[in-house]
Chain A
């Protein structure tokens, strides 16, 4: 998974890291049992205060999302607390809103927009199905 810090969001840095791990866990970027980078190299790479990264990892551990195995590192827990349905929908809401606004600017009307969404959903489902057939 890729970590990114954005100072323009107004969200505390440690929370950004927590949310990114949770998002990666929910979207397949990080799988159960996969290791997270160690605190020191991650802090160095992001050029962020080491205590900030430590705070994020402590928070993730207390939320039951990750676990630390002494001598081995931090790993995503099996059956880690997934995002609840309302939270997942809220995450999607932002993207949907952006698409709606863009459709408005590009003068794509409601019917055309919904038809486009349905077409892309069908396309995506076909892709997933054929991918599963191959593996």
Chain B
């Protein structure tokens, strides 16, 4: 059983002049996982991905893809992955069919059944020039080009930005359907996105990057178990609550809302002792965790 991580980033640092775009980032993606990579604009996501693709060289630290150095073994690495960025470029004189033939020519393997199936599913006209395609159709074409070689790693960088909700949904469904259908151990997805709520169902594990550093890495289920929103309503506005370690405490008259990163049982017990009229707990979604995590600071929970 192959346990080599598909992606292994160790203390990655990438400097631009005096700035560290990425500063000591570490993360590991095991085979078969769907890994989310979240961060604000300028946090270092695209720089990290460029290092995986040997478009940039690390200033310090290391990246390994399939256990290989993308710099030393560029072709070996790239032949086993496919990349879908947010802005897709095709040769403008080529048709959809030409483009797919061209992309296929670089690949040792190309599944023509999937190609035909996805062209039909997306309703793309194979004879149409790529310049005539809408943004959504260009992304669909790029996705076909990425899935047909049945790569071991699908690297997605803001793939659905600027697309309408229907196309965005179909994109995710296609990743789940056409891509994930293969042998689970050889189907790994690494997706960098702002649209966290859309990808939430897909994500097994994620890293939030902030100012070039890892802010939080967790399994999605564990994160939703850990991060809670506790809402309470009292008969009278309660005295200022002492809840050390809470991510945030908001008091609005008789109502209190607490965001907890662990210790929620403790907070619930404290609230219960004040005899609330109503007390409700729910988990934070990954997107809410992302927003709340900004107050976590550089140290891990």
Contact = CB atoms under 8 A, between A and B. Distances in A.
Contacts of B46: none
A7 B285 contact: yes
Contacts of B228: 10
Interface in B265-301: 282-286
B283 A8 contact: yes
Contacts of B117: none
Q: Is the interface of B mostly helix, strand, loop or mixed?
A: mixed
Interface stretch (A20-28, A38-46, A112-120, A122-130): A38-46
B181 A5 contact: no
A51 B176 CA distance: 9
Query: Considering residues B180, B285, B286, which has the most beta carbons from chain A within 10 angstroms of its beta carbon?
Result: B180
A51 B283 contact: no
A67 B181 CA distance: 21
Interface residues of B, number: 25
B282 A8 contact: yes
Contact of B180 (A9, A10, A51): A51
Contacts of B283: 7-10
B282 A43 contact: no
A50 B225 CA distance: 21
A47 B173 contact: yes
B221 A43 contact: no
Contacts of A54: 184
B126 interface: no
A50 B181 contact: yes
Given A7-B283, A12-B221, A49 B34 contact: yes
B39 to A, nearest CB: 20
Contacts of A66: none
Interface string A45-69: 1111111101000000000000000
B173 A44 contact: yes
Given A5-B201, A47-B202, A13 B221 contact: yes
29 contacts: A5-B201, A7-B200, A7-B201, A7-B224, A7-B283, A7-B286, A8-B284, A9-B282, A9-B283, A10-B224, A10-B283, A12-B221, A12-B225, A13-B201, A13-B221, A40-B177, A40-B181, A43-B176, A43-B180, A44-B176, A44-B177, A47-B176, A48-B176, A48-B201, A49-B34, A50-B181, A51-B184, A52-B201, A54-B184
Interface of A: 5, 7-10, 12-13, 40-41, 43-52, 54
Given A10-B282, A12-B221, A47-B198, 16 more contacts: A7-B201, A7-B283, A9-B283, A10-B225, A12-B225, A13-B201, A13-B221, A43-B176, A44-B176, A46-B201, A49-B176, A49-B201, A49-B202, A49-B203, A51-B184, A51-B204
Nearest 3 A-B pairs (CB), nearest first?
A10-B283, A48-B201, A50-B180
